[in-house]
Amino acid sequence: MTGAVAAIDLGATSGRVIVGHVGPDTLTADVVGRFANEPVPTPDGLHWNVLGLYGGAIAGLREAFRAAPQIASIGVDSWAVDYGLLRDGRLLGNPFHYRDARTERGVEAVHARISYPQLFERNGLQFLPFNTLYQFAAESQELLNFADTALLIPDLIGYWLSGEARAEQTNASTTGLTRTDGTWDDELLATLDLRRELFPALIRPGERLGTLRSELATSLGAPRDVSVTAVGSHDTASAVVAVPMRADAAAYISCGTWGLVGVEVERPVLSAEARAASFTNEGGVDGRVRLLRNVMGLWILSETVRTWERAGTPIELSTLLQAAADVTAEVPVFDVDDSRFLAPGDMPERIDAWCAEHNVAPPRSRAEYARSIIESLAQAFADTARQAAELGGVDIRTIHIVGGGALNDLLCQRTADRAGLAVLAGPVEATGLGNILVQARAQGFVQGSLEDLRALVERTHQPRPFLPRAGSAS
């Protein structure tokens, strides 16, 4: 039996609504709606336009039901850590963006009460200054006292679709407020003066959140019994579902704005070595653990292009990458995880500053800047994949790159060269496919384990191989 589901996939720069058709030997994903995700700076900080995102999702769903009236389920995924506060179902202002500078004071406030090593023992997370617990510490206490519910972004969209407020486990695991067993850490919440009642009951991927609100179903031209299904609502959790890998032999890189580099393991890795190497243990679908590290990702390249375009020069990315591939001069390999590259701004200027501080000659042309970024990302990806394998006890022989980075041939080839391992690129829409697959299994359109779902991906979306070239490691 083949069935249809709809995936709402919200990324840091754009959102998509995707119709998936799934059966034992069928897996298709057709994008029926795209909309921009433009953060909005206001006098009090940088915010997400979450109402605009919801409006884009609704418009996309309307197109989805026109294209496939038999859609049985809707699932939502997005980036992690950011949240909305509600009172009696009303959103209390637009959610802050994780790149907003307010998180700096949150880190100090949290660590005044509990140290990072103590936190790592409890939640297994990499230190990132924008993790949700730090954002809560920087939040208005008056607003926290007034709110009755806190929902992460995909949970908020799910609430607006279904009227049911729950917290999906894979995304909840990124807040820093759950234990490594996936439950809310009541003791930590009390330590941080966070009211337990703010945090709704947890729900696992594949569980039914509810049904589409009746008035919304009418507006969309949808059947009244359409399910709203919890998926791996952290976009990386969904992406890893659709990595066509054998868990005991591969690392994955979910590459877009961020590069999430890691391996899949059965249990959290809470060693001092994992903590020192800045690795994180995040919840995965079917109780798996994503042992990974957040690497800055293609954000640096896209922000570099935006810097040049703001100066009045239009940039064609494919032309820039071809020019970068043709560069023969030595270019600097810089630390992409340096905190200076986190906030929006002039990336070429920041690369120059890093080079000056490290007595390295900076790039001299736009092609060299692009090549320098690619080389630096490839080195970070290769190093992190090796570390993940060592920490997780995984004998990797292949690196899978999924997401938008799978389209970047230069990045894929240089990662293979620097890692000395074959890279398999694709699928590009891994996040949407993972979202679709979890829903499809919940609806009975497909059955089996994660390995069975990945085998379906491999049969229907053959990845592109990039083999390491002799003498090209640097």
Active site residues: 235
Beta bridge partners of 150: 85
Q: How many residues belong to the chain?
A: 474
CB atoms within 10 A of CB 14: 14
Q: Is the peptide bond before 427 cis (omega within 30 degrees of 0)?
A: yes
Cα–Cα dist 113/338, whole Å = 26
Q: d(Cα 257, Cα 469) in Å, to the nearest integer?
A: 27
Distances (CA, A) of 164 to 157, 160, 161, 201: 10, 8, 8, 10
Query: Rounded distance, CA 156 to CA 77, Å?
Result: 11
Secondary structure (H, E, C), the chain: CCEEEEEEEECCCEEEEEEEEEECCEEEEEEEEEEECCCEEECCEEECCHHHHHHHHHHHHHHHHHHCCCCCEEEEEECCCCEEEEECCEECCCCECCCCCCHHHHHHHHHCCCCHHHHHHHHCCCCCCCCHHHHHHHCCHHHHHHCCEEEEHHHHHHHHHHCCCCEEHHHHCCCCCECCCCCECHHHHHHCCCCHHHCCCEECCCCEEEECCHHHHHHHCCCCCCEEECCCCEHHHHHHHCCCCCCCCEEEEEECCCEEEEEEECCCCCCHHHHHCCCEEEECHHHCEEEEEEECCCHHHHHHHHHHHHCCCCCCHHHHHHHHHCCCCCCCCCCCCCHHHCCCCCHHHHHHHHHHHCCCCCCCCHHHHHHHHHHHHHHHHHHHHHHHHHHHCCCCCEEEEECHHHHCHHHHHHHHHHHCCEEEECCCCHHHHHHHHHHHHHHCCCCCCHHHHHHHHHHHCCCEEECCCCCCCC
| CA 325 to centroid of chain Cα atoms | 27
Of 417, 391, 458, which Cα lies nearest the Cα of 251?
A: 391
